[in-house]
Amino acid sequence: MTGRLAGRTAVIVGGGQTPGATTGNGRAVALLFAREGAQVLVVDRDLDSAEETAELVRQEGGTATAHRADITVESDCAAILDAALASLGHIDILHNNVGIVPAGRTEDLPADSWRRGFEVNLTGMWMTCKYLLPHMRERGSGAIVNISSMAGLLAGGETIAYTTSKAAVHSMTRSLALEYAPHGVRVNCVAPGMMDTPMGVDAVARAGGVDRAEVAARRAAMVPMGHQGTSQDVANAALFLASDEAAFITGAILAVDGGFTLRSHHV
Among all residues, which ones are annotated catalytic? 162
Report helix angle 25-35 to 231-242, nearest 10. Answer: 50
Sheet strand arrangement including 93-96 = 64-68, 39-44, 9-13, 93-96, 142-147, 185-192, 253-256
Contact at 8 Å (CB) between 172 and 131?
no
Query: Largest Cα–Cα distance of the chain, in whole Å?
Result: 52
> What is the C-alpha separation between 47 and 100, in angstroms, rounded?
18
